[in-house]
Structure 1
């Protein structure tokens, strides 16, 4: 288990803040041992909670162009045919995965291919499960073209708590299946848009593991 690079600065600043807070408690309440102990325990709990959010476990990717892997850890909250108006301008099969603050927040490519389209959108911070979050929240849209010519769209969506999306790709980048391409801080959602004839391998409420769970099979 390693700590993701996106957490280095936050964890360092948080450590300094908590250390100062504990020093202040000891300085202003030198005779209150209980208060000092409670402050220390609370600080440890807060730090460990934030630390686990930035965990980045090492995983083994079993590549297969015929399947679509989950782009992140989380829970399947949407499976439906939906209009995708930004790139495809038509109906596609949508699978959405909600990531709580307790999930690993690394975003992985659901399939290998070339980045044919990438765009960042500033936006609102509606709760991630809101129907309009896919089109109104801060988000990125990435389209991957497989060797077969099939195109898959994956969208990072910020939520009410998640207010920072990071990405490490640009158009014409070639990616392998399961590659890390981004990170979303503190709760979010990822949408995957597939061809209508794709066979869905998950159901609403299923728990996914990024880069490991097969969410769909391509025809």
Structure 2
């Protein structure tokens, strides 16, 4: 089994294991309510950093959701920072109860990665895309289409994690990172993309098809 398929991501294990050891060692010395609180925190961390398997669609041209959550934007958008023109933008908001593993939307190669420090507005606000801390990944698909997807930190989220770099070949549904404790992911697709989701829809990263590249 590859480590990326372990039930909990390694970043979570780095928190869960020490806290579990601390709880066991000090559990008999601390008041019961503190011990119970530590156990609850540990269980929440296990839940938050869960790493479920997904059934990745294999339809030609399909674009899958890069994150679990709720679609809060789906429509035309002028993306002039990296793509320089009109695109289709889909934004997915992740609450702290969603799986926070991020996945590659379609197969291709990463052509650039842009990280920017920023503020921490609530991730469901439109201004969060531009003003919050974010990590933008630009890719070129196997058919030469440009796709941009952006990890955006939220009000609670203070850490963006990305496991891939410029030049990496990637495949649809591949895990590429996570954002800790509530956030959003924006994806920008060519204007001619056939969209298959709507605002308010719940999606699963790597599994729900957002649309089809034409």
Look up the match of 1:193. Answer: 188
**1:98-127: CA deviations, max 9, x gaps?**
111111111100000011121111111111
Following superposition, the deviation at residue 41 of structure 1 comes to: 3.1
Look up the match of 1:152. Answer: 147
Look up the match of 1:69. Answer: 64
SS in 2 for 1:56: coil
Following superposition, the deviation at residue 96 of structure 1 comes to: 0.4
1:65 and 1:110 mapped to 2: Cα distance?
13
Look up the match of 1:14. Answer: 19
| 2:86 corresponds to which of 87, 91, 98 | 91
1:20 and 1:128 mapped to 2: Cα distance?
38
1:215 and 1:203 mapped to 2: Cα distance?
9
Q: Is the contact between residue 19 and residue 38 of structure 2 (CA under 8 Å) also seen in structure 1?
A: no
Instruction: Give the root-mean-square deviation of aligned CA atoms.
Output: 1.7
Q: Is the contact between residue 69 and residue 210 of structure 1 (CA under 8 Å) also seen in structure 2?
A: yes
| 1:4 corresponds to which of 6, 9, 12 | 9
Q: Is the contact between residue 65 and residue 111 of structure 1 (CA under 8 Å) also seen in structure 2?
A: no
Q: Which runs of 5+ in 2 are unaligned?
A: 1-5
1:137-176 matches, cutoff 5 A: 137-176=132-171
* TM-score of the aligned structures, taking structure 2 as reference length: 0.90
Q: Is the contact between residue 122 and residue 137 of structure 1 (CA under 8 Å) also seen in structure 2?
A: yes
Q: Is the contact between residue 106 and residue 183 of structure 1 (CA under 8 Å) also seen in structure 2?
A: yes
Indicate whether 1:41 and 2:36 are aligned.
Answer: yes
Q: Which runs of 5+ in 1 are unaligned?
A: 27-35
Q: Is the contact between residue 137 and residue 159 of structure 1 (CA under 8 Å) also seen in structure 2?
A: yes
Q: Which has the larger radius of gyration?
A: 1
1:132 and 1:175 mapped to 2: Cα distance?
29
**1:44-88: CA deviations, max 9, x gaps?**
222211110011012232223411100011111111211212211
1:19 and 1:58 mapped to 2: Cα distance?
30
* TM-score of the aligned structures, taking structure 1 as reference length: 0.89
1:43 and 1:205 mapped to 2: Cα distance?
35
Following superposition, the deviation at residue 22 of structure 1 comes to: 4.1
1:18 and 1:186 mapped to 2: Cα distance?
22
**1:115-173: CA deviations, max 9, x gaps?**
11211111111110121111111111111211211111100001111111111111111
Distance 1:84 1:20, change over 3 A: farther
1:137 and 1:190 mapped to 2: Cα distance?
12
The number of residue pairs the alignment matches comes to 209
2:54 and 2:165 mapped to 1: Cα distance?
24
SS in 2 for 1:55: coil
